[in-house]
Amino acid sequence: MPAAVSAMSSIPTAQETRTVMLIVTNADVLVTMDAARREIPGGALVAEGPAIAWVGPTAELPEAYRRRMDDGSAQVLDMRGHVVIPGLVNTHHHMYQSLTRAVPAAQDAELFAWLNGLYLLWSHLTPEMIRVSTSTAMAELMLSGCTTTSDHLYLYPNGARLDDSIEAAARMGMRFHAARGSMSVGRAKGGLPPDSVVEDEAAILADSQRLIEQYHDDSRHAMLRIVLAPCSPFSVSRDLMRESAVLARHYGVSLHTHLAENDNDVAYSREAFGLTPAQYAEDLGWVGHDVWHAHCVKLDEEGIALFARTGTGVAHCPCSNMRLASGIAPVRAMRDAGVPVGLGVDGSASNDGAHMLGEVRQAMLLQRVGYGPAAMSAREALEIATLGGARVLNRDDIGALAPGMSADFVAFDMSAVGYAGAGHDPVAALVFCTPGKVATSVINGRVVVRAGELLTASLPQVLVRHRELARELFEAAR
């Protein structure tokens, strides 16, 4: 057998893994996030195809599964020395921004000035840049514990399409909620973005419908769903918000946008529409369990009550909120009121480090800065990043490890230096200590990271091209 072929054969194809049984044994702790929030010492898990078939202590693993281990017909992952948790869910990102990290002109600005410093640069994006930056962003997320992600792409210059992101996600093997973003109100009409990056509203709606019909999968364990996501109240019209909601509800897809991100955003809403952001969302029909809004840093009491009453979700992005000095989102109050809250790393130009477990840590720490040391525990932060994210994305098949749920889980090696001395509570250690890289990641029953290495792509090759394209983008905008 030629060397290249034998090297490839250790990486199972999607088709092979669908039929393979995967058995996890001996996890130091297996965090289930099930209804009883069980944390199982010496935990085991059995996945058949895309779904979990059994979860419990390794000592109680049923005989039928033991036989499959003995006869070699199951793939076995011995997780001794590791903590296994449900895969983290990222509910807000702009992956193309991985090409524009730490841009000098946008390093020390608040939201509107930050956007104005970057729009021109982004207008030079190409389809390949979308594909490569999406692959890079997904690799970073996967290595940091994320198994399901949304991405909000709202610029389509030079022939770029949402299909470019979708193609990258399929190659990387991530569970993906692709949000068809849009901007239609440029500066000439009183919006924030330059006119060169906005689209015609009829074209936006037609492309949205095409994407839903071509790609949206509403089945259990779906790897790809489409979301309609006009960018923000200050870059699209009332009509586009309303029409998008009508279209989304006709097809049963979710809605997503940015809302109440900072004081200027609230001021724009009051001035342009005579309403608070929450009132505006309600007026547009943008509330319900099929809607989630990014940030909501300045969501007021009335807004929190509205979101709780309607099941409207929030993507909390603590690093981005700190980076842009937007403020501290009232997550404690939201959770107490019953608002569904998930976590998002946000785009890589406003959170230059898209580490999903790191975001969990920052969520916990930032609530404490705002509301005291008991404002959020490590376990609650983990719950927000798993069950919370699943609810925000309107899914009941991810976020927990239990029979019938999708086989999405990650393992962290507790022998890493960052966890030294925290063995008395390894679950809390994941959140309190320096965020580590995953040792193993399984998405939809398929091993996508093993021994800390990404199996679905050659990361060094992706990064070489990513560096070239980032340089090209800067040259083009000169």
User: Which positions touch Zn ion (CB under 5 A)?
Assistant: 346
Tell me if 178 sits within 8 A of 166, measured CB to CB: yes
CA contacts within 13 A on the Cβ side of 68: 17
Distance CA(154)–CA(131), nearest Å, equals 14
Distance CA(431)–CA(381), nearest Å, equals 8
The continuous run of DSSP H or E covering 296 comes out as none
Residue 408 Cβ vs Zn ion, minimum distance, rounded to whole Å: 24
Residue closer to Zn ion by CB (options 199, 346) is: 346
Residue 68 Cβ vs Zn ion, minimum distance, rounded to whole Å: 45
Tell me if 176 sits within 8 A of 166, measured CB to CB: yes
Residue closer to Zn ion by CB (options 44, 192) is: 192
Residue closer to Zn ion by CB (options 290, 346) is: 346
Angle at which helices 459-476 and 127-143 pack, to 10 degrees? 130
> Residue 25 pairs with which residues in a beta bridge?
78
Residue 261 Cβ vs Zn ion, minimum distance, rounded to whole Å: 8
Distance CA(32)–CA(382), nearest Å, equals 11
Residue 94 Cβ vs Zn ion, minimum distance, rounded to whole Å: 6
Closest Cα to residue 313, out of 321, 323, 322, 303? Answer: 303
Residue closer to Zn ion by CB (options 28, 346) is: 346
Closest Cα to residue 437, out of 142, 86, 24, 28? Answer: 142
Residue closer to Zn ion by CB (options 111, 439) is: 111
Residue 424 Cβ vs Zn ion, minimum distance, rounded to whole Å: 38
- For residue 422, give the 3-state DSSP assignment: coil
Residue 154 Cβ vs Zn ion, minimum distance, rounded to whole Å: 9
Residue 287 Cβ vs Zn ion, minimum distance, rounded to whole Å: 19
Radius of gyration of the chain (CA): 22
Residue closer to Zn ion by CB (options 346, 397) is: 346
21: left (phi over 0), alpha (psi -120 to 50) or beta: beta
Residue 326 Cβ vs Zn ion, minimum distance, rounded to whole Å: 11
Q: Which residues contact 379 (CB under 8 A, 6 or more apart)?
A: 37, 427, 428, 431
Closest Cα to residue 232, out of 194, 283, 182? Answer: 182
Residue closer to Zn ion by CB (options 323, 437) is: 323
Residue closer to Zn ion by CB (options 17, 362) is: 362
Can you count the helices (H) and strands (E) in the chain?
Answer: 18, 17
